[in-house]
Amino acid sequence: MTERTLILVKPDGVKRGLSGEVLRRIEAKGYSLVAVEMRTATEELLAKHYEEHIGKPFYESLVEFMSSGPSLAVVAEGERVIEGFRSLAGATDPTVAAPGTIRGDLARQWSTKVIQNIVHGSDSPESAAREIAIWFPGLA
Ligand code: DAT
Ligand code: MG
């Protein structure tokens, strides 16, 4: 069944001029872009987006980083796109993310405080539906 996922080019990716490179990889893989919008996330939006991480030691610095500048919010579509984009993105820790992935090729650790890893991708159909509703409330 064709599905949709929520992808973010995070503030580090936008600042480094990598938005186009991420969109290029999504399209080169064969997925369709459904919606694309530049947005600066507020603390309130991030509390919903990162609900599962509230209370963890890195939560406050994660919110500080994620609200530090614009992100490019993207909805992409295709057969198994949720799993497919997670594979394109690579492992959470950019230092050891496999070469060939977005994080493995383009990201690295800059400080011990927060992991900056260029992209977010929904991790399940439930997360995708929830996150698309948060970032694109107008999208059916
Ligand atoms: P992912 O983005 O791969 O789904 P996640 O949902 O576990 O990873 O975490 C969300 C983000 O929070 C992640 O992209 C980077 C940051 N993060 C996760 N674990 C962290 C940690 N132990 N220390 C600092 N930042 C962390
Ligand atoms: Mg996650």
pLDDT at position 113 is 83
pLDDT tops 90 at residue 115: yes
Q: Which candidate in 120, 121, 131, 135 is catalytic? A: 120
Mutate which of 64, 68, 92 for ligand 1? The one with the most ligand atoms within 8 Å of its CB, which is 92
Q: Per-residue b/e over 35-71, b at no fewer than 16 CB within 10 Å?
A: beeeeebeeebbeebbeeeeeeeeeeebbebbbbebb
Q: Give the residue-averaged pLDDT of 39-54.
A: 98
19 within ligand 1 shell (Cβ under 6 A): no
Q: In this model, does residue 133 exceed pLDDT 90? A: yes
Q: How far is CA 92 from the centre of its chain?
A: 11
Q: Is 6 in the pocket of ligand 1 (CB under 6 A)?
A: no
- Tell me what the mean pLDDT of segment 110-137 comes to: 96
Catalytic status, residue 49 = no
Q: What is the mean pLDDT of residues 1-25?
A: 97
pTM value > 0.85: yes
Q: Does an H or E element contain 115, and which?
A: none
Question: pLDDT > 70: what percent of the chain?
Answer: 100
How many Å lie between the centroid of ligand 1 and the Cα of residue 131? 16
**pLDDT (0 to 100) of residue 16:** 98
